[in-house]
Amino acid sequence: MANQSSVTEFLLVGFSSDRDIQILHFVMFLSIYLLALIGNSLIITVVALNQNLHTPMYFFLANLSLSDVCYISTTVPKSMATSLTNNKLIPFSGCVAQVFLVVTFVSLEFVLLTVMAYDRYVAICHPLRYRLIMTWDACIQMAAASWFGSLIHAVLQTSITFRLNFCRSNIIEQFFCDIPQVQKISCTDTQANVVLIFVLGFILDSFFFVFIFVSYGYILSFVMKIPSVQGRCKAFSTCIPHLTVFSLFIIPGVFSYMRPKALSTPMMDLVSAVLYTILLPLMNPIIYSLRNKDIKVALLKLPKKLQHFILGQLR
């Protein structure tokens, strides 16, 4: 941090300097932000208030929704404020904090999706041992390890990034402080940083990706042995939301951080960043609500549950 040289703040270029487009951007981001907050908060609330949903699967889903709320709150409010006030400056410490939080919640999303894949593997391939393996102690430990591991990973990535010197330009061609864009404006050689971050990310991402791939390989092999078509469809239906969310997460994320420089343009960077920082927190509750009967039933019962809960607190 001491090597920051003369740069004390950064300028986030964002989407446009045209006032009409800035207002449109503010309205769109505000709408998306509110929808994401409401959707994920509803998931957390229905899981907390319904005894039927007090299972490992929904416990990890609630953690994923909490992560989504934190994730989208890291970038979107600052971007909306920038568009509304036309003040594109962010202090050096604010940029460090934003990088740290973005990496934390990106990592957490990946780890939780991996844990959820393991949960589906145990539930489908070892149903008789499910309650013995996925105990509440085990679930809490896995969730705690996910959060703690993500924080450690974020500390490493943020430390590597902000050991660089910033003395030439302070213009970040993005609507938030993103590691690739921060590296571009450093006045020191970033080759070692790029390689280190790539290798660290590749090792971790490969491990989780292979784990998920192997888990679903076992699930597919087991499901195909189920004699009834109805049984196979029921087993697959519990996996489709998770696979959809994982695809929405991994494709734009990998494209953003590991694509070659030849494919890196300001517009492409903005679009890919929007996909992996904003689309995922918005789509997660929609996907799980539309594809999950238990969640839909719990949502319909939510007003009555909230009424009973409030009355119980007032007594």
CA distance 51 to 38: 21
Bridge partner list, 152: none
165 Rama class: left (phi>0) / alpha (psi -120 to 50) / beta: beta
The backbone torsions φ and ψ at residue 292, rounded to the nearest 5 degrees and listed phi first, read: -125, 115
Q: What is the pLDDT of residue 257?
A: 61
Q: What is the pLDDT of residue 125?
A: 87
Nearest partner of 14 among 270, 280, 274, judged by Cα: 270
Q: What is the pLDDT of residue 311?
A: 63
Nearest partner of 153 among 186, 106, 212, 193, judged by Cα: 106
With H, G, I as helix, E, B as strand and everything else as coil, classify residue 209. helix
Q: Provide Rg for the chain, Cα atoms.
A: 21
Q: What is the pLDDT of residue 69?
A: 94
Residue 118, CA atoms < 13 Å, CB-side half-sphere: 18
Q: What is the pLDDT of residue 290?
A: 65
Q: Is the dihedral of CA 286, 292, 296, 298 positive or negative?
A: negative
Quick check: pTM over 0.95?
no
Residue that the structure tokens 């719990």 belong to: 298
First to last CA, the chain: 53
Q: What is the pLDDT of residue 35?
A: 92
CA distance 61 to 89: 36
Where would I find the beta strands (DSSP E) of the chain?
A: 9-12, 89-91, 171-172
User: pLDDT tens digits for the chain (315 residues)?
Assistant: 444 446 788 888 877 777 888 888 889 999 999 999 999 998 999 888 888 889 998 999 999 999 999 999 999 999 898 888 888 889 988 999 999 999 999 899 889 989 998 998 998 888 889 999 999 999 999 999 999 999 998 998 898 888 878 877 788 888 888 888 888 888 877 777 777 777 777 787 788 888 888 888 888 888 887 777 777 777 777 777 777 787 777 776 666 666 556 556 667 777 777 877 888 888 888 887 766 777 877 777 777 766 666 666 666
Yes or no: say if 219 and 123 are a contact pair by the CB < 8 Å rule.
no
Q: What is the pLDDT of residue 3?
A: 45
The DSSP string of 178-204 is -HHHHHHT-SS--HHHHHHHHHHHHHH
Nearest partner of 97 among 64, 73, 69, 81, judged by Cα: 73
Yes or no: say if 164 and 3 are a contact pair by the CB < 8 Å rule.
yes
Class of the CATH domain delimited by 2-314: mainly alpha
Helix (H) or strand (E) holding 67: helix 56-85
Yes or no: say if 95 and 21 are a contact pair by the CB < 8 Å rule.
no
Nearest partner of 103 among 179, 164, 160, judged by Cα: 179
Residue ranges per structural domain of the chain: 2-314
With H, G, I as helix, E, B as strand and everything else as coil, classify residue 3. helix
Q: What is the dihedral of CA 291, 297, 301, 305, to 10 degrees?
A: -80
